[in-house]
């Protein structure tokens, strides 16, 4: 049984690999897109830095974070934004379109996991620019920090980052699954996009009720603040463990919602 | 169970299949819309109401019915997309709604009005994605792909982004993509819709050849009778969710149009032949068309030949389009005064 399980996972990986390759091949045709991505990145980073400079011209710390520490948060925010725009958003957009146009039928008649298929079909490689720019910001911030960052902190950061990607993906799919019931969920997605902007600041700067909301309702805390905390030595092992538990729970809920959504789509629950 | 006895089973077996949809109902107008927000009234609509039929392995069956007759709902239940309300469906021994991978690997679904190929990329790349999804071994994939590309004559087209293809070209590429895994049962929902006559013909020819080569079963819906005539030895006509007719195309004509047209050419010119049957058409050069009950056609023809000097006589079935139109309209043909 264990053998077939590994076999399945391997097959899934190969599937994702093929999809990724095809996606990259095709995006490479649109060379002008790289210019737009660079421009978009530049504007986003420029505004962020300007706001940061403005804030720190008045104060030395914000919610207990120094300027360079906040630069880490900002870097993670840009990086995660790149992940969202390159993989998560295009796939979820396509899923919404498929539900609306009835082309989801083609996905559901394929002998592969439906959730995997709808999550790996699109890959906008030029948006990866943001991932690189975000990573560069993080590196710059770490160099400027007044204390050394140990390998353990880096490892914790990478783990937290990975968990953050899974959290954002799960959350976004959860929103998109609503499309099975209410066909137009674009507005919800726009709303999320707006709220994502709030993630450029650590959640601790927000008042209590908002902090709770950004942690558990729209999980920006786990996606952005926790990785930054891990890198700046604020996260304990317990926090990371908690983040892992939250990620696993959210993923499980999303998986369940996906199945319920499919049953609804095929009229099994009606 | 060995392969030989398996092949004796029908590829598709449907028994007393039903599907009821619950639809929200409201009257037109703003006031009714607002009322609908508060309290919704629902109505149950029976889209498929007790359908039974079998499709043998290798058989090509045409599924006919007016819009909204329940054809697409049937195809969706057969391909596992819709859960039946009640009844029994078995395709290649599987229950479709369980969507087992073993089942999905052996069927395919083609919908003429929807694309599965990705719009911005060449069809070849979409083929590659299907290879990964169906886990087709490399050598087999290349062989099947090249065979399909050759049969459909789309060699130059599969390298262009799909958005640059014409509707007919795109449909051919769609069909190729759907057959890469060599499915044993094909569900084709209006595969030639909107295509020009040449493209329709090409696809028709391809499907016939595919069926001949692979022995796959095909269940096809189409509005074009030419598709059905060219491909299907048998048709299942459904109306209001129930089977109205199941049998040969030829027998459908006799059953639903119990009349034939006798056309006689009389050298003596216009003659009153209304004593033989209903005169449909009479031209000044002495050609007269008569509509007579099929059972009496040969007797009437013999009488005509005995009574008149006849230079030409033909007996014809009405065009299949007319028959189908009559079936869908639900009206029996007008009785002929005798």
Query: How would you classify residue A254: left for phi > 0, otherwise alpha for psi between -120 and 50, otherwise beta?
Result: alpha
Q: Do B111 and A105 touch (CB under 8 A)?
A: yes
State the Cα–Cα distance between residues B273 and B277, nearest whole angstrom. Answer: 7
Q: For position B9, what pLDDT does the model report? A: 83
Tell me what the mean pLDDT of segment B161-181 comes to.
Answer: 93
Encode burial over B179-216: b for 16+ CB neighbours within 10 A, e otherwise: bbbbbbbbbbbbbbbebeeebbebbbebbeebbeeeeb
Among A97-101, B3-7, B232-236, name the one with the lowest average pLDDT.
B3-7
Please check the confidence at residue B333 and state whether its pLDDT lies above 70. Answer: no
Chain length of chain B = 338
The partner residue sitting opposite B81, judged by closest CB among A11, A19, A266, is A266
> How many Å lie between the alpha carbon of B134 and the closest alpha carbon of chain A?
6
- Is B148:B103 a contact under the CB 8 Å cutoff? no
For the record, the structure tokens of A137 come out as 């910001």
State the Cα–Cα distance between residues B97 and B76, nearest whole angstrom. Answer: 9
Domain limits for position A238: 2-265
Q: For position A33, what pLDDT does the model report? A: 78
The partner residue sitting opposite B114, judged by closest CB among A15, A102, A117, is A102
Query: How would you classify residue B187: left for phi > 0, otherwise alpha for psi between -120 and 50, otherwise beta?
Result: beta
Tell me what the mean pLDDT of segment B199-203 comes to.
Answer: 91
Per-residue pLDDT of B75-86, as tens digits, reads 999 999 999 999
For the record, the structure tokens of A182 come out as 């209410």
- Nearest-by-CA chain A residue for B101: A111
State the Cα–Cα distance between residues B107 and B84, nearest whole angstrom. Answer: 18
Q: For position A183, what pLDDT does the model report? A: 67
Among A129-138, A178-187, B17-26, B247-256, name the one with the lowest average pLDDT.
A178-187
- A31 belongs to a structural domain: yes
Please check the confidence at residue B256 and state whether its pLDDT lies above 80. Answer: no
Question: How many domains in chain A?
Answer: 1
- Is B262:B300 a contact under the CB 8 Å cutoff? yes
Q: For position B277, what pLDDT does the model report? A: 86
DSSP string, A26-70: HHTT-THHHHHHHHHHHHHHHHHHHHHHHHHTT-SEETTEEHHHH
Q: For position A2, what pLDDT does the model report? A: 46
What residue segments make up the domains of chain B, in order of their start? 3-252, 258-316
- Is B253:B317 a contact under the CB 8 Å cutoff? yes
Identify the three-state secondary structure at position A183.
coil
A99 shares contact with chain B (CB less than 8 Å): no
Q: Which of B76, B62, B80 is nearest to B114 (CA)?
A: B76
Cα dist from B230 to B23, B202, B223, B306, whole Å = 38, 11, 13, 38
For the record, the structure tokens of B102 come out as 């073993």
Q: How many Cα atoms occupy the beta-carbon half-sphere of A22 within 13 Å?
A: 25
Q: For position B2, what pLDDT does the model report? A: 42
State the Cα–Cα distance between residues B91 and B95, nearest whole angstrom. Answer: 6
Q: For position B211, what pLDDT does the model report? A: 94
Q: Do A108 and B83 touch (CB under 8 A)?
A: no
State the Cα–Cα distance between residues B51 and B62, nearest whole angstrom. Answer: 15
Q: Do B129 and A102 touch (CB under 8 A)?
A: no
- A270 belongs to a structural domain: no
State the Cα–Cα distance between residues A44 and B49, nearest whole angstrom. Answer: 58
Q: Do A111 and B22 touch (CB under 8 A)?
A: no
A121 shares contact with chain B (CB less than 8 Å): yes
Identify the three-state secondary structure at position B195.
coil
Identify the three-state secondary structure at position B218.
strand
- The yes or no reply on domain B258-316 and CATH 3.30.70 is yes
- Chain A residue numbers with beta carbons less than 8 Å from the beta carbon of B125 are 22, 25-26
- Chain A residue numbers with beta carbons less than 8 Å from the beta carbon of B129 are 18-19, 22, 121
- Chain A residue numbers with beta carbons less than 8 Å from the beta carbon of B103 are 111
Please check the confidence at residue B332 and state whether its pLDDT lies above 60. Answer: no
B13 — pLDDT class (breaks 50, 70, 90): very high
Out of 2.60.40.10, 3.40.50.300, 3.40.50.1970, 3.40.50.720, which CATH number does the structure's domain B3-252 have? 3.40.50.300
B127 Cβ contact list (under 8 Å, min separation 6): B145, B158, B176, B177, B180
Q: For position B331, what pLDDT does the model report? A: 44
Task: Please count the residue pairs, one from chain A and one from chain B, whose beta carbons lie less than 8 angstroms apart.
Answer: 73
Cα B120–B124–B128 angle (5° rounding)? 105
State the Cα–Cα distance between residues B56 and B217, nearest whole angstrom. Answer: 7
By DSSP bridging, strand B60-64 and strand B217-221 are parallel
Q: pLDDT tens digits for chain A (270 residues)? A: 445 778 878 888 888 999 888 888 777 777 787 788 888 888 888 888 888 888 888 888 888 888 889 999 999 999 999 999 999 999 999 998 888 888 899 999 999 999 999 999 888 888 888 999 999 999 999 998 888 888 999 999 999 999 999 999 999 999 899 888 876 777 877 888 888 888 888 888 888 888 888 888 888 889 999 999 999 988 888 999 999 999 999 999 999 999 999 988 887 553
Among B23-32, B65-74, B116-125, B149-158, name the one with the lowest average pLDDT.
B23-32
Tell me what the mean pLDDT of segment B311-333 comes to.
Answer: 74
B179 — pLDDT class (breaks 50, 70, 90): very high
Mean confidence (pLDDT) of chain B: 86
For the record, the structure tokens of A76 come out as 């993670």
A260 shares contact with chain B (CB less than 8 Å): no
A110 shares contact with chain B (CB less than 8 Å): yes
Q: Which of B278, B325, B321, B312 is nearest to B297 (CA)?
A: B278
Q: Do B120 and A26 touch (CB under 8 A)?
A: yes
Q: For position B8, what pLDDT does the model report? A: 66
Chain B residues within 8 angstroms (CB to CB) of chain A: 19, 21-22, 76, 79-83, 97, 99, 101-105, 107-109, 111, 114-116, 118, 120-121, 125, 128-129, 131-135
Identify the three-state secondary structure at position B336.
coil
DSSP string, B270-302: ----TTTSEEEEE-TTSEEEEEEEGGGHHHHHH
A127 Cβ contact list (under 8 Å, min separation 6): A37, A82, A85, A86
Query: How would you classify residue A269: left for phi > 0, otherwise alpha for psi between -120 and 50, otherwise beta?
Result: alpha
On the question of a common fold for B3-252 and B258-316, the answer reads no
Q: For position A241, what pLDDT does the model report? A: 94
């Amino acid at each position: 049984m264990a053998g077939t399980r590994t076999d399945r996972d391997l097959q899934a990986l190969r599937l994702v690999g093929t999809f990724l390759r095809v996606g990259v091949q095709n995006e490479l045709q649109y060379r002008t897109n790289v210019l737009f991505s660079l421009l978009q990145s530049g504007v986003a980073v420029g505004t962020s830095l300007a706001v940061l400079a403005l804030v720190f011209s008045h104060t030395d710390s914000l919610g207990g974070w120094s300027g360079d520490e906040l630069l880490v948060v900002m870097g993670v925010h840009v990086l995660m934004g790149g992940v969202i725009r390159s993989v998560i958003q295009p796939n979820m957009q396509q899923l919404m379109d498929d539900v609306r146009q009835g082309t989801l039928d083609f996905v559901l008649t394929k002998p592969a996991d439906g959730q995997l298929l709808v999550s790996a079909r699109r890959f906008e490689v030029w948006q990866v620019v943001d991932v690189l720019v975000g990573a560069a910001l993080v590196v710059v911030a770490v160099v400027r920090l007044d204390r050394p960052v140990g390998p353990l902190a880096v490892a914790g950061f990478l783990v937290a980052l990975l968990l953050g990607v899974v959290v954002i993906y799960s959350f976004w799919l959860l929103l998109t699954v609503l499309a099975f019931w209410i066909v137009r969920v674009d507005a919800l997605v726009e709303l999320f996009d707006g709220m994502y902007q709030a993630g450029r600041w650590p959640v601790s700067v927000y008042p209590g009720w908002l902090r709770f909301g950004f942690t558990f309702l729209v999980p920006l805390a786990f996606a952005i603040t926790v990785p930054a905390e891990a890198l700046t030595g604020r996260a304990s092992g317990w926090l990371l463990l908690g983040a892992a538990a939250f990620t696993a729970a959210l993923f499980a809920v999303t998986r369940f919602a996906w199945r319920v959504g499919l049953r609804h789509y095929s009229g099994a629950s009606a | 169970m060995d392969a030989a006895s398996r092949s004796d089973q029908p590829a598709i077996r449907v028994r007393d299949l039903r599907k009821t949809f619950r639809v929200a109902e409201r009257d037109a107008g703003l006031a009714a819309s607002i009322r609908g927000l508060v309290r919704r009234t629902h109505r149950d609509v029976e889209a498929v109401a007790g359908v039974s039929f079998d499709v043998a392995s290798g058989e090509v069956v045409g599924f006919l019915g007016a819009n909204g007759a329940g054809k697409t709902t049937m195809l969706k239940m057969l391909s596992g997309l819709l859960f039946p309300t009640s009844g029994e469906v078995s395709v290649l021994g599987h229950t479709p709604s369980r969507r087992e991978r073993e089942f999905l690997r052996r069927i395919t679904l083609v919908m003429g009005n929807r694309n599965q190929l990705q719009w911005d990329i060449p069809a070849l790349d979409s083929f590659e994605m299907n290879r990964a999804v169906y886990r087709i071994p490399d050598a087999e994939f290349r062989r099947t792909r090249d065979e399909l590309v050759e049969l459909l004559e789309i060699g130059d087209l599969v390298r262009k982004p799909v958005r640059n293809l014409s509707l007919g070209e795109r449909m051919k590429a769609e069909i190729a993509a759907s057959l890469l895994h060599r499915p044993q049962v094909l569900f084709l929902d209006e595969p030639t819709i909107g295509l020009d006559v040449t493209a329709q013909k090409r696809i028709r020819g391809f499907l016939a050849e595919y069926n001949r080569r692979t022995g796959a079963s095909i269940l096809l819906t189409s509005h074009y009778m030419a598709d059905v005539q060219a491909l299907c030895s048998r048709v299942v006509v459904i109306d209001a969710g129930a089977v109205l007719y199941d049998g040969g195309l030829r027998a459908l004509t006799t059953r639903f149009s119990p009349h034939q047209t006798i056309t006689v050419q009389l050298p003596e010119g216009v003659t009153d032949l209304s004593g033989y049957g209903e005169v449909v058409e009479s031209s000044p050069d002495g050609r007269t068309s008569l509509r007579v009950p099929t059972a009496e056609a040969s007797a009437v023809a013999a009488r005509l030949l005995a009574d008149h000097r006849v230079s030409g006589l033909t007996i014809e079935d009405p065009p299949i389009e007319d028959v189908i139109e009559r079936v869908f309209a639900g009206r029996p043909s007008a009785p002929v005064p005798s």
